[in-house]
Structure formats: C-alpha cells, structure tokens
C-alpha cells in the first residue's frame, strides 16, 4: 500500500514539474516573441573603430527607449563580403563564399524590428564594404520583400566636419528603399541621420555634437521599431 502511495506521489510530483516546465517554456516563448530587436551594422573595414563606436552609442540610446528593446551590433570590420555579380537572387547570395553568412542569422531573426546602418565617408561615398553589404540584402527580396516597412536609419563618420556624411547617409537610405524599408531620420540638428567628425585621433566620443546625433538617431529608430511591432 505504501509503495502505491509513494508511486502516486511521485507521479503527481512529476506531473507538477512537467506542468511547471511547460508554463516556463510558454512564458519564455512569449517573452521572446515580445522582444524588439534593433540591429546596428558598422560597415567600416576598421573593426571596433569610430563607426562601430558611434553605432554602439546609437544602440545604447535605442535600448533605453523601452524595456522590450534588445540591440545587437554587427561589426563588419575585417570581414570579407563580396558585392553583387549581377545575379541578385536569394539563392546566389546564400551560395557566395564570403562572410555574409556569419551575420545572416541575426538579420534573419523574426524579432528584427529596425536597423541602423553606418559607414565611413570615403571620397564622399559609402565604403565598398557598405555597398557590398547592401547588395547582399537581396537575399531578403524573395520570395517576399521581408524588409518591407522595417524602419532603417543611417549614420556616417568622416575626417572633416563637412566630409560627405550627409551624402553617405542619403546613399544608404536610397539603397534601402529598394527593399521597401521605411526611412527614419534623426532629431534636432541631424534630421537626415547621425553625422560624426573623426577629428580627435580616432576618439569619436570627443565629437559631442556627432555623438548626440548618434544617440538621437538611436532614439528615433527605437520609436519607429515600437510602431512597427504594433
């Protein structure tokens, strides 16, 4: 009799643990589904330098807008990413032998609700790495336009205060219109996006005006991400 009672109690305890585990799994799934991911992509060939630092500041500001917002910085510095060879099919992009495959899982996240793309200004144009990255996003054009309506902002760093930052931002945002993205600007004195000046031996944090524009951009993109999430 005692053996049966112990067995019964063990079964009940096991069932209770199973229910608790199922509830915890459901809670985790619900929390994961509620996450709002804002991804920042630094398209400078110099890993961890001024563009990445500015992007980190933008993402930190974005994260402070709402507790549901999570952020991830993708630093392309040092990566080998090839541009389009004329074949823009999703299959061709996936089969290219380069490092884009390393960042694809983050960009492919179901929680992606906004992006910020940053590039240094080289001769008043985006970096070749940035151009290649933008072309690689063709993987999201089929079978459906998966980046359609996703809010996207842009930032740029140059060696002069008027070193083509606005031109680079415009180039990035115009390219993202090809994917159906919703363009997001900055606030205050940086309505187009974040413009930064590398005038302090690579310590971009000393550009107070530029860092403020990066933080303001992060806030605007985060606000747009909340609307996108609904």
Assign domain 35-229 to its CATH architecture.
3-Layer(aba) Sandwich (3.40)
- Which residue, among 148, 223, 158, has the nearest Cα to 185 in the 3D structure? 223
- Tens of pLDDT, residue by residue over 191-219, are 999 999 999 999 999 999 999 999 999 99
Residue 25 has a pLDDT of 45
Q: What pTM, to 2 d.p., does this model score? A: 0.86
Residue 169 has a pLDDT of 98
Q: Are 190 and 217 in contact (CB under 8 A)?
A: yes
96 pLDDT band (50/70/90 cuts)?
A: confident
- Min mean pLDDT across 85-94, 104-113, 125-134 is at 85-94
For residue 226, pLDDT beyond 90:
yes
Q: What is the mean pLDDT of the chain?
A: 90
For residue 3, pLDDT beyond 70:
no
Q: Which of 122 and 24 is assigned the larger pLDDT? A: 122
Give the CA count within 13 Å in the CB-facing half-sphere of 137.
23
Give the CA count within 13 Å in the CB-facing half-sphere of 74.
25
- Which residue, among 90, 83, 191, has the nearest Cα to 127 in the 3D structure? 83
Looking at residues 137-156, what average pLDDT do you find?
95
- Which residue, among 159, 169, 149, 147, has the nearest Cα to 213 in the 3D structure? 169
């Amino acid at each position: 009799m005692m053996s049966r009672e112990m067995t019964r109690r063990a079964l009940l305890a096991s069932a209770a643990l199973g229910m608790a585990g199922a509830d915890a799994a459901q809670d985790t799934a619900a929390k994961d589904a509620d996450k709002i991911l804002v991804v920042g992509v630094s398209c400078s060939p110099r890993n961890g330098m001024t563009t990445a630092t500015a992007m980190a500041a933008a993402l930190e500001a974005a994260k402070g807008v709402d507790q549901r917002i999570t952020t991830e910085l993708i630093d392309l510095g040092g990566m080998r990413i090839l541009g389009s060879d004329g074949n823009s099919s999703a299959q061709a992009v996936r089969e290219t032998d380069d490092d884009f495959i390393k960042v694809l899982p983050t960009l492919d996240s179901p929680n992606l609700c906004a992006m910020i793309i940053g590039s240094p200004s080289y001769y008043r144009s985006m970096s070749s790495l940035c151009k290649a990255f933008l072309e690689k996003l063709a993987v999201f054009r089929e079978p459906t336009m998966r980046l359609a309506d996703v809010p996207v902002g842009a930032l740029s760093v140059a060696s002069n205060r008027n070193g083509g930052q606005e031109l680079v931002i415009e180039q990035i945002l115009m390219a993202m219109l090809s994917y159906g993205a919703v363009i997001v600007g900055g606030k205050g004195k940086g309505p187009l996006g974040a413009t930064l000046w590398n005038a302090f031996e690579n310590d971009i944090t000393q550009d107070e005006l530029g860092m403020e524009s990066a933080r303001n951009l992060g806030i605007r993109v985060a606000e747009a991400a909340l609307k996108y999430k609904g």
